[in-house]
Amino acid sequence: MNPKIKRILTITIPLVLGVFLVWYSLSQISLEQLVGYFKKADYTFISLGVFFGLLSHLSRAYRWRFQLQPMGYHIKLGNSVMAVFATYLINYTVPRAGEVARASILTNYEGVPFEKGFGTIVAERIADLIMMFCIIVVTLFLQFDFIYGFLVEKFNPTKIIMGVFLLLFFGIVFTIFIKRSNLKIALKIKSFVNGLIEGALSIFKMKKKWAFIFHTLFIWTMYVLMFYVTSFALEETSYVPFAAILIGFIAASFSIAATNGGIGSYPEAVVLAFTLFNIPEDPSRAFGWIMWGSQTLLIIVFGGLSLIYLPIFNRKKAIK
């Protein structure tokens, strides 16, 4: 595919999907009802959720410095914090453009070569991927009976068992094929997987690896907490079981990759997760919008201020 066309599609598809999902979501609940939920929400819990979100972003910025120090770069905490917030804000416009901008900010203001800065961001994403996988495993373990019962109710048990065996069989065949093949696509997959493994193992080689691991655990604990405490903002979702919270959190997290910053997709992902537990759609959808809206407002405010203040914060260095 032509690189220019590919780039255009990368930008337009998530945007179009986001617009469609916003329209779909608002067609399922009247604007008057949605505004009503916002009005009666308990903003103490929403503020607490925003606070936990803020802590996670600050921890991410602080953790980033541990990755750069072994390479001889001791960046200012202010630049690290503002680069992180700028990343999230820019990702609302063009998916994944924020990561490029984040590495560029380090290059411009801290003299860190772009490829090195970007490499640390890739390693960081690997750590996030591992944490998401751990949360999924924990959720499956804690809610095995529920998930198994749901699958049995919706699907034939024999077909489920056959499906699992088929997945395992094709997974083994695919792995063997990728290992032995010299096709371009196979080499790319091998390179990607090797990069993931190398990036994950590199965490244990850094001097402050335990501090890095602590902050990684802290970041994801804050993510889950901000989702959990915000559920108390609405009376209808304040009694949602923790199982639904975990499944809703996982679904909502994946939805962020589907559209720009999860616009439109985030509330609908919450609805899909919560309805598994027979939670009504309207309060589930309203909670999704409240959750997404509060965290988005945090990013817009701090991301916007970061983009404005970055050149001012580094003005003395620029003058020198």
pTM of the complete model: 0.82
172 contact partners, CB below 8 Å, separation of at least 6: none
Residue 45 has pLDDT above 90, yes or no: yes
Closest to 285 in 3D by CA, of 252, 243, 259: 252
Segment among 200-204, 257-261, 304-308 with least mean pLDDT: 200-204
Residue 197 has pLDDT above 90, yes or no: no
Place of tokens 């655990």: 217
Q: How many CB atoms lie within 10 A of CB 137?
A: 10
199 contact partners, CB below 8 Å, separation of at least 6: 122, 123, 126
- Rounded to an integer, what is the distance from CA 213 to the centroid of its chain? 18
What is d(CA 172, CA 186) in angstroms, rounded to the nearest whole number? 15
Among 30-39, 95-104, 143-152, 157-166, the range of highest mean pLDDT = 30-39
What is d(CA 93, CA 31) in angstroms, rounded to the nearest whole number? 25
Rounded (5°) CA angle 282-286-292: 145
pLDDT digits (tens, 9 = 90+) for 81-118: 999 999 999 888 877 778 888 889 988 898 888 888 88
Residue 179 has pLDDT above 60, yes or no: yes
Please give the structure tokens belonging to residue 111. Answer: 């003299």
Instruction: Give the end-to-end CA distance of the chain in Å, rounded to a whole number.
Output: 46
pLDDT at 260: 81
Mean pLDDT of the chain: 83
What are the structural domain ranges in the chain?
30-315
Q: State the amino acid at position 202 in one-letter form.
A: S
What is the mean predicted confidence (pLDDT) over 288-301? 94
